[in-house]
Chain A
Amino acid sequence: MKKHFYDYLWIASALYLILGFFNILFAWLGLLCFMIPLLISIFGKSKAYCNRYCGRGQLFSLLGQTLHLSRNKPMPRFLKSRIFRYGFLAFFMTMFGLMIAQTVGVFLNADSLKTAVTLLWTFRVPWTFAYTETALPAWISQFAFGFYSIMLTSTILGIVLMVLYKPRAWCVCCPMGTMTQLVCKGHAHGKTEQN
């Protein structure tokens, strides 16, 4: 099958994770992975991002399918349930909100900048090696640390799911996927189905 430019977006995803080890400010680029799928679902009324452009999904396919790192077993029924998917989305958004609150704290000078990445919402890993003091305000770096924590945490979870179950098992509970599907369901609500 003909390869398109978007078949190589996994390189961008991998590069993003690598760049975070060198300069944390690159973490801001991750906002693209938040904004683009939402904008496509709101204005394009589709999940074209998941379907075509998601570099992370491609990375999991590459590791799990091409490199055979996945066990290729079905996921437990619980992880596929709507309750879990919507619950995970709610949890994820709550943690995102806390991260924003922490950034606001630094912005208001109520908190000091913490040059650490929090993995799996629990483990604080010192990340000073990727931080250089700049003329930029501290909250910009705080947001970068917080956002990179989210991106690295979800990549770790995705890799664990990829190894244990199907290569793209992360897609089942991906908060962005769940959110964009909800937006699409909202658009289609009340319209007649084709099938």
Chain B
Amino acid sequence: MAKRKAVVDKTHCVACGCCTSACKLQAITVFRGIYAQVSDRCVGCAKCASICPADAIRVESST
């Protein structure tokens, strides 16, 4: 099965950090107050995507 991972649209991310508090694995962090960054720990649960007020996170399958 393809691995799923959150992908951040950096142009729309407002770096509010809602995603970081939604993530149970601390797999998403705000990079230097500019945009959110996803680490390899991400399992693609989409909690961050559903909470993101800017709708800047998508969950994509990577093969």
Contacts and interface: CB of A to CB of B under 8 A. Distances in A.
Interface of A: 1, 41, 45-48, 50-52, 57, 61, 65, 72, 74-75, 80, 82, 85, 165-172, 174, 177-178, 180-181, 183-185, 187-188, 194-195
Interface of B: 11-12, 14-18, 20, 24, 30-34, 37, 50-55
A171 B32 contact: no
Contact of B18 (A1, A168, A184): A168
Contacts of A188: 32, 34
B52 A181 contact: no
Given A80-B55, A166-B51, A166-B52, A171 B14 contact: yes
Contact of B33 (A47, A57, A169): A47
Give the dominant DSSP class at B's interface: loop
Contact of A51 (B16, B37, B54): B16
B54 A80 contact: yes
Contacts of B31: 194-195
**A contact patch SS:** helix
Contacts of B51: 65, 166-168
Given A75-B54, A166-B53, A167-B53, A184 B34 contact: yes
Contact of A177 (B16, B24, B37, B52): B16
B55 A50 contact: no
Contact of B32 (A46, A52, A57, A65): A46
Contacts of B24: 1
Given A181-B34, A184-B34, A47 B16 contact: yes
Which one of B17, B50, B52, B53 has the greatest number of beta carbons of chain A within 10 Å? Answer: B53
Given A168-B53, A171-B16, 10 more contacts: A48-B33, A50-B16, A51-B17, A80-B54, A166-B51, A172-B54, A181-B33, A187-B33, A188-B32, A194-B31
A52 B55 contact: no
Contact of A184 (B11, B20, B32): B32
B54 A57 contact: no
Contacts of A167: 51, 53
Contacts of A183: 33
Contacts of B15: 47, 50-51, 177, 181, 184
B17 A47 contact: yes
Given A166-B53, A168-B53, A177-B16, A194 B30 contact: no
